[in-house]
Structure 1
Amino acid sequence: MAINTSVLPDQPAGWSAANRRAINQLLQSVGNCSAGYDPARKPYAVFDWDNTCIMNDTEESLLLYQADNLLFKLTPAEFAEVLRQGVPEGVFHPDYTNLDGQPVAMAELAADIDEAYAWLYAHCAALGGTQPLAELRASPQFQNFRAKFYYLYGALCDTYPMEVGYKWIIYFYKNFTPAELQAMVADSIAYNLAESLHQAAIPSSEQQPGRAGRVAPVHFYGMRVHAEIVALMATLRANGIDVYVSTASIDDVVRVFATNPLYGYNIPAENVLGLKLEMADGKYTNVYKKDWHFNWGPGKTIGIRNVFVAQKGYGPALVFGDSDGDAWMMKDFADTRLGVIINRLHAGVIGQNSLQAATTLGQPDARFLLQGRDEHTGCFNADERTLKYGQTEVRLLA
């Protein structure tokens, strides 16, 4: 029996009933079965990537994978430079204390990380020393490096504008070629897809508390493919609707996941829009690309206007996202029929969009939709409400 490509398939079954109806209505009104469809003016959809197309975050998982395996191409002097690049001096947000409840300052934390990295650089074969990494994992230096490096990323994101932390994370790709970066990303994706979904602390050394004291940042391990998004992207293309990704990660990291046929998204590499670094001699530098916008929040609207609208002459018909990084691109284009929010129970600007979605839930003219998921499984749950990790009751709003 032929498949009706003008509607979403019934399987996978994780869409809420109202969302399935709304998406099918959009497919029938703008897709290639609609009366006004023009193949020379194809409608298009824009998806955020992390925590929208997948469960959890490709680039943040990569950061810990880099630290866990000491996958850096930086001398201690280069590392110290990148570590401080674009980071203000001073004490972090009050939530970022050490395990003794004392405030943590950038100067002390960076000095501890420098000291640990220099020791590992001199000793570990992964960085040019002679000892296997496996023999050093229990060392205070490795424990401090891993915990404090990851802690710093969270402190940056929660203390300063997102541009500080999101650019900082990509500067550590300095001296990688694109092929080397993509190989590391592919390994990280495979590792994290095989890992169970769980949250766990990363404690620094008890023996060597250092200048900043002991810390224990929490990481959400594992990633999952959202099968409903995979099926939707295929259905959109079958209906003559192009599919693009707009990410606040560097574009080359997300391309590894989004373009690999193994995962089913099948996004053309050129359809991924994200952050960019300047290149030198075929390698990434720690210089953000000149005149390139910061592709987060209002910057995603700028990116869509400067790239997609500049090419096509019109905005997206459908936009997907999960956070404030996506809230503006969901609401800034007159051509957008639906903004679909993967419901992470966030406040902020995305919370305003979510409240509007909740107010108009099930209505045929709803501008925003909420799609829930179960964070214990990483799967959509056929509901607008989400079950947060570690909780037992689903909720609709933050």
Structure 2
Amino acid sequence: MKYAKRYIAVMLTINLLSLNARAARVESVPPAPSTAPNITENTPMLQPGKWDSFNKKRLEAMLAKARQAPPHTYYAVFDFDNTTAFLDIEEAALIYQLEHLLFSMSPEELREVILKDIPLTDFASAYNNKNGDPVNIIKVSEDIIESYRWLHDNYPDLTQQERLVEIRRTPHYQNFITKMRYLYAAIGGTFRHEVSYPWVTYLFKNMTPGQVADLTQKTIAWQRSTPVESVLWESPAALPGKAGVVSVTWHNGFRLVPEMQDLYQALQKAGVDVYVISASNLEVIKSIVTRPPYSVPETQVFAMRLLHTSDGKLTAGLDPDYPQTQGKGKTETIRKFIQNKYAGKGPLLVAGDSEGDQNMMSDFPDTEVVLIINRLRPADSVIGQLSKRAVEEYKQKDAKILLQGRNDNTGEFIAAQIHYPLGKKIGQKVK
């Protein structure tokens, strides 16, 4: 028995030494060269959505490249209105603000705001009144203030939303909201963007950032329930005033675009820092893109930045330390506040839809991808030329310019480069 025990002990020792030797050999064998492709199952991939298939493939190749670099090596810049979203959130918020009379100004303050920096010349002929007579800021502002003052005198607390049903029956309510929306359209259609873009943000004067954020979220919820359609307002014949009877048309149906939400997330998962540069009000844009699913840090959001009072309320003045975030101002914003954080490199990706974005799309030679949401911009504009180039270079492996189609009848992307204007069943790629 003693010899048997010794035999067993010796055999156990030999087996243990053998196992250890095999383990050592396994650990010392170098790993076999990887045969996996660059895009692995862990690489951020875009959801199928309604992307043009080539655009999706090109964006995914860009994401795969970004993933190979350390986080925060690259950054992407997005416009918001008609790029990140369908339609313009500032315009949608203006309608909600008008319909609910969400203003924190006295009639005298409103007069000062709506006259601010607006030339006294007549508006473009497209904004003549119903009789064909020209209109200008003096004429229409008198009518607006007259109706606003009447509303203030008869309904001193405009925040009592339960009285809106009664207020909306009055001609002065219809006159006020119509001529205010008309004035926004006339300013934008007559004067330079440097005049028109800031103007609408001034209407938040005396509101807190929280009030603007609340108004924005209510606007999004309301617009989600409305059809995508064209809406016409005409001021009441009973109150022609100085400007006469005027009308204005705009589009309802603001939507957040799921494909863009997915792209924001995929970029961040790939280690790319995402920035938003918008010509809308800063508080409006922050209230959307700093929340999931976008989750953009507040310090990476740039838009029309109003000065604040000592108690935190918004004023009718832009912060002079920040460029106007439209046109050349978008490029200036990148160069002043962003580019130096990335060793002087331009954005990896720029996404936009209009002339207000064309500078940042074309001013950085090292930008790898420019994503244009197709809205059939004029052929003689920079973005029109970039769109044409996207059509010509379509499906080339390293194409820089991508043109993404959209159907304005549904507010959705389509899997092509084509744009369908509202009310049209036939679309086109470029003008």
TM-score bracket, normalised by the shorter chain, equals over 0.9
Would the aligned equivalents of 1:189 and 1:257 in 2 still touch at CA under 8 Å?
Answer: no
Q: Are 2:219 and 1:182 aligned?
A: no
SS at match of 2:420: coil
Confirm or deny: 8 A CA contact 1:70 1:126 kept in the other structure: no
- Aligned-pair distance for 1:7? 5.0
1:282 match: 312
* 3-state SS of paired residue (1:172): helix
| CA drift at 1:10 | 4.2
CA distance in 1, matches of 2:262, 2:120: 46
Q: Which residue of 1 aligns with 2:348?
A: 317
Q: Give ranges in structure 2 of 5+ residues lacking alignment.
A: 1-39
CA distance in 1, matches of 2:160, 2:87: 34
Correspondences of 1:204-243 after superposition (within 5 Å)? 204-243=235-274
Matched, 1:158 2:189: yes
Whether 1:92 aligns to 2:137 is no
Q: Contact between 2:387 and 2:401, CA under 8 Å: does it hold in 1?
A: yes
Letter in 2 for 1:212: A
Match of 2:57 in 1: 21
- Between structure 1 and structure 2, the one with the greater Rg is 2
Give the TM-score normalised by the residue count of structure 1. 0.94
Listed as ranges, the matches of 1:61-80 within 5 Å are 61-80=92-111
Identity, % of aligned positions: 36
1:305 equivalenced with 2:341 (yes/no): no
- Give the TM-score taking structure 2 as reference length: 0.87
Residue 338 of structure 1: how far off its partner (Å): 0.9
Q: CA deviation at 1:9?
A: 3.1
Report the Cα offset of residue 218 of structure 1. Answer: 0.5
SS of equivalent to 1:245: strand
Bigger mean CA deviation after superposition, 125-134 or 42-51: 125-134
Counterpart position of 2:234: 203
Task: State the shift of 1:389 in Å.
Answer: 0.6
Q: Distance in 2 between matches of 1:380 and 1:131?
A: 38
CA distance in 1, matches of 2:228, 2:212: 25
CA distance in 1, matches of 2:78, 2:415: 20
Q: Which residue of the partner structure matches residue 299 of structure 2? A: 270
Structure 2 counterpart of 1:251, from 282, 285, 290 = 282
Deviation at 1:126, TM superposition (A): 4.2
Separation in 1 of the partners of 2:161 and 2:48?
52
Does the residue aligned with 2:375 lie in a helix, a strand or coil?
coil
User: What is the number of equivalent residue pairs in this alignment?
Assistant: 389
Displacement over 4 Å in runs of 4+: 128-131
Asked whether 1:377 is paired with 2:407, we answer no
User: What whole-Å deviation, never above 9, does each CA across 1:316-353 have from its counterpart, x for those lacking one?
Assistant: 10000000111110111122011110001111222121
Contact (CA 8 Å) 1:125, 1:133: kept in 2 or not?
no
- 1:136 maps to amino acid: I
Distance 1:139 1:10 in 2: 49
Indicate how the Cα distance of structure 1 residues 171 and 130 shifts in structure 2: closer, same or farther if over 3 A, else same.
closer
Q: Which residue of 2 aligns with 1:341?
A: 372
Query: Which stretch has the larger CA shift, 182-191 or 119-128?
Result: 119-128
In 2, are the aligned partners of 1:122 and 1:128 still within 8 Å (CA)? Answer: no
Contact 1:357 1:370 in 2 (8 A): yes
Mark the CA change 1:193 to 1:158 in structure 2 (over 3 Å): closer, same or farther.
Answer: same
Which residue does 1:119 correspond to in 2?
Answer: 150
User: Helix, strand or coil: the match of 1:132?
Assistant: helix
